[in-house]
Amino acid sequence: GDLSGFVASTYLRGVPVFQVPTSMMAMVDSSVGGKTAVNVPAGKNLIGAFHQPRRVFVDTDLLKSLGRREIAEGLAEVVKMGVIR
């Protein structure tokens, strides 16, 4: 999601992007804020932009394929977003 969002934000000064996240963490991350960034050798998320997706398509049936750890990470992201906002 971050790479496609970053490319969409920079190509022709921004083109519409649609996100289709497949994990709970990605579902939360894709739907809040519009921050897109990529990691480089110098550090994490150092190159990026703010570019809201045109749409975020969430299929909650995909969550059935996730393990407990991935679900816990996603729930932690939900709590983090709730505290930050």
Using a pLDDT cut of 90, give the percent of the chain over it: 66
Least confidently predicted of 25-29, 32-36, 58-62, 73-77: 32-36
Residue whose token pair is 């983090």: 80
Where does residue 34 rank: exposed (0-12), middle (13-18), buried (19+ CB within 10 A)? Answer: middle
Name the pLDDT band for 84 (thresholds 50, 70, 90).
confident
Nearest-angstrom CA–CA distance, 45 and 38 = 5
Amino acid at the residue 11 = Y
Strand partners, 37: 48
Nearest-angstrom CA–CA distance, 56 and 2 = 13
Please tell me the predicted confidence (pLDDT) of residue 31: 83
pLDDT digits (tens, 9 = 90+) for 34-46: 889 999 999 999 9
